[in-house]
Structure 1
Amino acid sequence: MTPAQTFDCAVIGGGVFGLATALELARRKRKTVLLDRLGSGHPVTSSTGLSRSIRIAYDQPFYVKLAQDALRAWRDLEAATGRGILHLTGQIDLGPAAKLQAIHDTVRAQGGAIRAADATELRRLMPELKPLAGEIGLYHADGGTVLAEQGMLALAAAAAQAGAVLHQRERVTAIELGAARPVVVAGPRRISAERVVIAAGPWSTALLEPIGIDLPLAPSVAQVTFLDAPDQVGRPGIAEWETSAAGGVYGHPVPGVGYKIAFDAGSTGWQPDVTDWSFDPDEECRILNWLKQRLPGMPARARLSQRHPWTMTPDADFIVDNRGPVTLACGCAGHAFKFGPALGRLVADVMDGALHPPELRLDRPALQRQASATAPIVR
């Protein structure tokens, strides 16, 4: 049997949750190793692609504060690595009055700047938009775009610089508990660690069930469309909340490309061994039809459509909690990426017992329900 390598912490999963956690643990002088089955940023993983939205527009104080922390942490990472990661052009929020009021009041209560915008102001902020009669939306400046690919490269570089060992394209096949220290098995490699962090996105269930942790996680396949609209890269992001049973729509500018739009709900059909997700032309057609109605001034030309997974929980909140020597960091619920390096601090604090957010706990009542792969993002 191959002798086990010894670390303080082993992180399984090299997406944004895992990379950010490895970075933070290494900064805290923990001897840390990270393993990822496909390699960070692989096209069929959750943390892939050019861009993600970022916003402080949440109706829960926890996420507003986490987003505020994330903006500072991304800026620190930009300074440390020399990579441009944030493209902040603000965000417009549209949708049911009760939802918008809750967002407005929560952001203001956390010291954030957000304001109501009538139809005239909405057209000034985004001339391509066609407001509804009498529509009132919201606008805040601390929103826009995370250049995701650059963010992932920066997190990986910073983690390695801090001393984390990154094993890419190494699939974890087992976690052995019961001895004094857990052992993580990846092919012939055996890693002994005091703590194991499972941040494997939609692959988490396959690692958790054999060690007796059963979670209501529902992997989903989501599609995004990049518009050939280079003149719109200075426009704000947009979120239209829950306008129908099918959910809402979100979008944001992408420098060098144009503008990205997508429905905020995924579909069923995720498979763990898929090596390429073909885009759905019918969904592309539906999102372009929404564009023609809501943003008629935006060029309705699809430059590229892509599909990738995310993992829903029953309440669209993440799961970050400890179970013995294992720390869970999973259930992105379609809105985790924006928090980037702030996620690493969150997971490390939970691991160390310095923080135990009730929204993310394993024993919260919502986790007694089943999650739906087709549920919209409601956070």
Structure 2
Amino acid sequence: MSTNGEFDCIVIGAGVQGSFTAYQLAKRNQKTLLLEQFVLPHSRGSSHGQTRIIRKAYEQDFYTHMMKECYELWAQLEREAGVKLYRYMATCLHIEKLNPYHQSPSLTGWMEEISVGDGAFVDITAGVLYADRALKTVQGQFEKLGGVIRDQEKVTDIKPGPVVTVSTSAGVYQAKSVVITAGPWANRLLAHTGLQLPLKVVKINVCYWKEKVPGSYDVKQRFPCFLRTENEESKVHIYGLPSNEYPGLMKICYHVGSETDPDQRDKQTDRSDISILQRYIARGFPGLVPEPAVVESCMYTLTPDEHFVLDRHPSHSNIVFGAGFSGHGFKFGPIIGKLLCELALGEVPSYDLSPFRIRRFQDKTNSAL
């Protein structure tokens, strides 16, 4: 079989997780190919858009611990590239079972403003990541290290073996190891390897709301990001970011969506989440027009417990995957890239990955594990 190239590692999917994985592999002197089915940059998956919330405060200790190093890795990338990737701004967190490594009583005015009431916490290290800029930056650093990006190449087959063969719409490649970070398309690619995971893809309506008085909720006024939970399971349902990416428009979204096919995303027209947000904004944000000015689309790939999947294939240890980032994975990109790189190189990972192993789904997967 003639091939278009031989590599140490092939990473499939150039979203934030795949791009950071490829970057980490290139830093380890691995000849690495990063494949993407769409033309870059694109808005078809889960890593696009201008902003994401970054925070350390989590109910689960394992996330808080990972985020400590993750902040360092974000800062390292900023220094390497000479690009500003995030902005600190205290974030109000209304989570009943939060791991409160920092609390502050000084949030009173903000709490009244965003109607979170009692039991709010504030994460003084939190802020906003510039998502599109971060993705472009890490891909650029990967290429500076000698990495190869091939976009508009859809993977059509993966043949496991001591050397893995990856066929695309444009060629055939071989590598000692493969990392699959394909977001909503993860199970379609894993099917080539005889594995399926309990992943559900949902479409999220990303909504922006117009300020009645320009600047009222602006980032320059130090208005915070916020996360609001509505039930005892402490799952975030509503989150918001100050006016920044679109002048005069505040980003407030519902963290829940309706199931969709990633290739038919725009046929999913459920707006029940927008109705919930309209009622919430009318009640809690009198300074916003309670009708979204802009609605964009994103997709979450959810696991049943909403924790990530970071693991090696049970039958092919040189095939590694990261999936199911469940709408809260972007901020972890640098550390997930490091962990998937370690797995691809056959190393012991830097963190305990037991919360992320597929064995927790053993009774629910369609494959013998």
- Shared fold (TM-score greater than 0.5)? yes
Q: What is the match of residue 376 of structure 1?
A: none
- Which of 335, 353, 362 aligns to 1:342? It is 335
Structure 2, unaligned runs of 5 or more = none
* Alpha-carbon distance change, 244 to 58 in structure 1, aligned in 2, over 3 angstroms: closer
Q: What is the match of residue 375 of structure 1?
A: none
Q: Distance in 1 between matches of 2:39 and 2:108?
A: 43
AA in 2 matched with 1:261: I
Q: Distance in 1 between matches of 2:258 and 2:290?
A: 23
The answer on 1:357 being equivalent to 2:340 is no
User: Does the residue aligned with 2:297 lie in a helix, a strand or coil?
Assistant: strand
Q: Distance in 1 between matches of 2:9 and 2:75?
A: 26
The answer on 1:223 being equivalent to 2:242 is no
What is the deviation of 1:76? 1.8
Structure 1, unaligned runs of 5 or more = 109-113, 371-379
Q: Distance in 1 between matches of 2:309 and 2:41?
A: 21
Q: What is the match of residue 207 of structure 1?
A: 189
Q: What is the match of residue 109 of structure 2?
A: 124
Q: What is the match of residue 67 of structure 1?
A: 67
* Alpha-carbon distance change, 200 to 138 in structure 1, aligned in 2, over 3 angstroms: same
The answer on 1:267 being equivalent to 2:252 is no
What is the deviation of 1:280? 5.2
Alpha-carbon contact 2:87-2:128 (below 8 Å) kept: yes
Q: What is the match of residue 138 of structure 2?
A: 155
Q: What is the match of residue 52 of structure 2?
A: 52
After TM superposition, list the pairs within 5 Å mapping 1:291-330 onto structure 2: 291-298=281-288, 300=290, 302-323=292-313, 324-330=317-323
What is the deviation of 1:164? 1.0
User: Does the residue aligned with 1:79 lie in a helix, a strand or coil?
Assistant: helix
User: Does the residue aligned with 1:204 lie in a helix, a strand or coil?
Assistant: helix
- Which of 175, 196, 220 aligns to 2:178? It is 196
Q: What is the match of residue 374 of structure 1?
A: none
What are the Cα deviations for residues 207-257 of structure 1, in whole angstroms up to 9, with x where unaligned?
A: 111211121111111111123346222211111123389962111225242
% same residue: 29
* Alpha-carbon distance change, 85 to 243 in structure 1, aligned in 2, over 3 angstroms: same
Alpha-carbon contact 1:223-1:279 (below 8 Å) kept: no
What is the deviation of 1:13? 0.3
TM-score scaled by structure 2? 0.87
Q: Distance in 2 between matches of 1:8 and 1:149?
A: 28
What are the Cα deviations for residues 303-325 of structure 1, in whole angstroms up to 9, with x where unaligned?
A: 31112111001111111111221
The answer on 1:243 being equivalent to 2:237 is no
What is the deviation of 1:78? 1.9
* Alpha-carbon distance change, 285 to 272 in structure 1, aligned in 2, over 3 angstroms: closer
* Alpha-carbon distance change, 340 to 247 in structure 1, aligned in 2, over 3 angstroms: closer
Alpha-carbon contact 2:227-2:236 (below 8 Å) kept: no
Alpha-carbon contact 1:128-1:297 (below 8 Å) kept: no
What are the Cα deviations for residues 284-343 of structure 1, in whole angstroms up to 9, with x where unaligned?
A: 342122122233345546331112111001111111111221001111111100112222
Alpha-carbon contact 2:94-2:116 (below 8 Å) kept: no
Alpha-carbon contact 1:175-1:207 (below 8 Å) kept: yes
Q: Distance in 1 between matches of 2:267 and 2:332?
A: 25
Alpha-carbon contact 1:116-1:136 (below 8 Å) kept: no
Q: Distance in 1 between matches of 2:279 and 2:104?
A: 27
What is the deviation of 1:175? 0.3
Q: Distance in 1 between matches of 2:258 and 2:271?
A: 14
Q: What is the match of residue 89 of structure 1?
A: 89
AA in 2 matched with 1:266: G
CA RMSD of superposed structures (Å) = 2.3
What is the deviation of 1:82? 2.7
AA in 2 matched with 1:354: V
TM-score scaled by structure 1? 0.85
Q: What is the match of residue 284 of structure 1?
A: 274
**Which sits farther off after the overlay, 331-340 or 80-89?**
80-89
AA in 2 matched with 1:305: V
User: Does the residue aligned with 1:128 lie in a helix, a strand or coil?
Assistant: helix
* Alpha-carbon distance change, 272 to 130 in structure 1, aligned in 2, over 3 angstroms: closer
Alpha-carbon contact 2:95-2:120 (below 8 Å) kept: yes
What is the deviation of 1:6? 0.5
* Aligned length in residues: 350
**Which sits farther off after the overlay, 135-144 or 23-32?**
135-144
Q: What is the match of residue 16 of structure 2?
A: 16
Q: What is the match of residue 111 of structure 1?
A: none
